[in-house]
Chains A and B, each alone.
Chain A
Amino acid sequence: MSKTLYDKLWENHVVHQEADGTALLYIDRHLVHEVTSPQAFEGLKLAGRKPWRVSSIVATPDHNTPTDHWDEGIKDPISRQQVETLDANIREVGALAYFPFKDARMGILHVVGPENGATLPGMTVVCGDSHTSTHGAFACLAHGIGTSEVEHVLATQCLLQKKSKTMLIAVEGKLGKGVTGKDVALAIIGTIGTAGGTGYAIEFGGSAIRGLSMEGRMTLCNMAIEGGARMGFVAVDDKTVEYLKGRPFSPKGEVWANAVAYWRTLHSDAGAQFDRVVTLKAEEIRPQVTWGTSPEMVVAIDAVVPDPAKQTDPVKREGMERALQYMGLNPNTPMNQITIDKVFIGSCTNSRIEDLREAAGVLKGRHVAANVKLALAVPGSGLVKRQAEAEGLDKVFIAAGFEWREPGCSMCLAMNADRLEPGERCASTSNRNFEGRQGPGGRTHLVSPAMAAAAAIAGRFADVRDVL
């Protein structure tokens, strides 16, 4: 019988199954950061339990760490305590790899895992962070978990799971100039809605997805959760294998050959059935900008702010009105007339080398507009930062008026000092435009790195296709 990629990944990890279908799934990789793990380590200790397999753990602090003045350490005492707690916990139990604060390989977990070859096709990858779906780009069964489940994985190397329904999102055709993985992700969420993927595992397929780089696929899978799906994945192909070759934790020699042979089977079989199929035409996707407080509140750059008066569902209409009030926007305003205060290029969605190259390509020889108070470029990891500097991208950002920062989650969720002030409007390459996400009262518009760079130069949202 033809199987979906999800079927194959699922069946490869079932240890035990209850009568109602609840399964015990084996976990290959456990990514750990400072915010969602302290209570799990404490719970483990209180119960007198030991971690099952510490060689599954890759850990780094990322949410709380500052992105400047590293010589001064972490000034916020509560943030510092959380990072020190992670240090102490990992020192006590051990890990495959730990990249502490200021380590050359420290960074956002969802950037660090793949670039070190710690994320390999066919793995189950979990982390106390919803953007763990990122790792699905490598045909992994990867999703976010809560802290109780972090403890469960530490103690048992397993998770209790029920099988999800399957959805195939096929994007066929060729993406236009200036249209990126981020625009595809936002266009998909605009189509299926922020809860469209709830209860589903999404496979992204079609010629446009095969055409994306691994970085683009990571951006796409990262945003699966914003479409309601805990996990999104892409089948293995040459790009997957090529990306992993020679990474620090990638297999070597004969083991590599065996691994690749297995990885090549990680795709949906011809004729495999999905519970739902959604098809998009790549040519119809234009650069996207969100206008509201949910990622589904998104339009193309050449569109206008939607009018709630045209919405017939009263709950949705009220939600739109509330969002417009929070965002300080009027219906029918052209998106390219909305001015911005800050720009953020970074986050687990868009902080990889290709993202920085795309933004720098737009910024080269240009300068940030006078009305932009702050433009931040935050590489996803120490390795990305070093690579970007080797290519001279840091100089492009700095010459354009950007601040070139140290790696971390930064202004995506503003747990550190990088944040919006009330009322400030930001062109952001992150993943959530929720109320207060980037700072209380802050107004977030989600865009691709190239679109963020175009907005920085114009001082308002602008169509990147006009400046490429």
Chain B
Amino acid sequence: MDKFVRLEGLVAPLDRNNVDTDAIIPKQFLKSIKRSGFGPNAFDEWRYMDVGQPGQDNSGRPKNPNFVLNQPRYQGAEVLLTRANFGCGSSREHAPWALLDFGFKAIIAESFADIFFNNCYKNGIVPIVLPAAEVEALFKQVEATPGYKLVVDLQAQAVVRPDGYGISFQIDAFRKECLINGWDDIGLTLRHAEKIREFEEQRRINQPWLFA
């Protein structure tokens, strides 16, 4: 996993509540057995006028000019700004894989669905929860300002606007450390292998029916 310390990135606004993971990456693309290559199909049903198929060359497909991420001013965006309950529905990690492959490294929202929120950290994407009023203000600024960029400073736990106004956000200390160092969770957990083994042995004695 890549380290995340500080990012200054172009912001793209997706002004909807309840964006679900079926919308982020439709089911037909889940047939892949790889982790990469989902970016061209991120938001497939909103982004293109036709129905996409896995393995297809997407370059010649008709794009929906009304979909915000198709607008020229948001090309190359690295920060996604959205509303409440982003990433609800299916647990598919293909959703953060698609967003990361598309280019997003940070997502700012009023709230996130739990499983998606967790999946972001596993892929080095920073999901940032900000109060509704701050999100609303960011939407107004982004839409009014072509080339609008935000600084995401993970070390300082702050989102900094171009006008210098900083908004602090919360993150678990452990998750922050993992992101900043790009640590592999499994490696970290296996430091406790002996403890896991002891726990398992006790369990086998106390609740043998779990080990049938």
List residues of chain A with CB under 8 Å of any chain B CB.
15-16, 18-22, 24, 26, 28, 35-36, 38-39, 42, 47, 49, 52-53, 55, 63-64, 76, 78-79, 81-82, 85, 96, 120, 122-123, 128-130, 143-149, 151-152, 155-158, 160, 162, 194-195, 198-199, 225, 228-230, 249-251, 255-256, 258-259, 262, 294, 315-316, 318-319, 322, 413-415, 432, 434-437, 440
Contact = CB atoms under 8 A, between A and B. Distances in A.
**Cβ-closest 6 pairs across A and B:** A146-B93, A148-B122, A251-B209, A144-B91, A38-B33, A146-B119
Contact of A432 (B34, B89, B123, B208): B89
Nearest to B206: A262
Given A78-B55, A81-B33, A195-B85, A414 B18 contact: no
Interface residues of B, number: 60
Given A26-B199, A123-B210, A319 B173 contact: no
B212 to A, nearest CB: 6
B209 A152 contact: no
Contacts of A19: 173-174
Nearest to A294: B18
B151 interface: no
Given A24-B192, A440-B45, A415 B28 contact: yes
Contact of B186 (A53, A129, A156, A255): A156
A228 B88 contact: yes
B91 A156 contact: no
A193 to B, nearest CB: 9
A198 B28 contact: no
Given A18-B174, A230-B115, A194 B210 contact: no
B91 A160 contact: no
Given A151-B186, A156-B189, A194-B18, A130 B209 contact: no
Nearest to B20: A434
B91 A145 contact: yes
B85 A228 contact: yes
A157 B119 contact: no
Given A129-B90, A434-B22, 14 more contacts: A19-B174, A21-B172, A26-B199, A39-B93, A76-B31, A81-B33, A82-B33, A129-B91, A144-B115, A149-B122, A160-B185, A198-B114, A228-B113, A319-B18
Contacts of B200: 26, 53, 157
B27 A414 contact: yes
Nearest to B35: A39
Contacts of B174: 18-20, 22, 160
A315 to B, nearest CB: 6
Contact of B115 (A39, A130, A156, A435): A130
Contacts of B7: none
Contact of B17 (A35, A255, A259, A315): A315
Interface string B179-209: 0000001100110110110011001000111
Nearest to A145: B91
A37 B51 CA distance: 26
A255 B172 CA distance: 41
A249 B35 CA distance: 34
Given A16-B192, A78-B54, A198-B85, A152 B185 contact: yes
B61 interface: no
Nearest to A37: B33
A436 B45 contact: yes
A24 B26 contact: no
> Which of A42, A85, A195 has the most B CB atoms < 10 Å from its CB?
A195
Contacts of A322: 16
Contacts of A432: 20, 22, 89-90
A255 B209 contact: yes
B30 interface: yes
Given A16-B192, A158-B196, A195 B122 contact: no
Given A38-B33, A129-B91, A262-B207, A146 B173 contact: no
Interface in B159-190: 172-175, 185-186, 189-190
A130 B196 contact: no
Contacts of A414: 27
B111 interface: yes
Given A16-B195, A120-B210, A434 B89 contact: yes
B147 to A, nearest CB: 25
Contacts of A28: 210
A143 B118 CA distance: 12
27 contacts: A15-B195, A24-B195, A36-B92, A39-B93, A96-B212, A120-B210, A130-B89, A144-B115, A146-B92, A146-B93, A146-B115, A146-B119, A148-B185, A151-B186, A156-B196, A195-B88, A195-B113, A198-B111, A250-B209, A258-B209, A315-B84, A316-B17, A414-B27, A432-B20, A435-B45, A436-B22, A436-B23
B30 A415 contact: yes
A436 B114 contact: no
Contacts of B113: 195, 198, 228
A55 B211 contact: yes
B2 interface: no
A230 to B, nearest CB: 5
B42 to A, nearest CB: 14
A259 B34 contact: no
B199 A15 contact: yes
Contacts of A228: 85, 88, 113-114
Interface in B87-126: 88-93, 96, 111-115, 118-119, 122-123
Contacts of A258: 209
Contacts of A53: 200
B47 interface: no
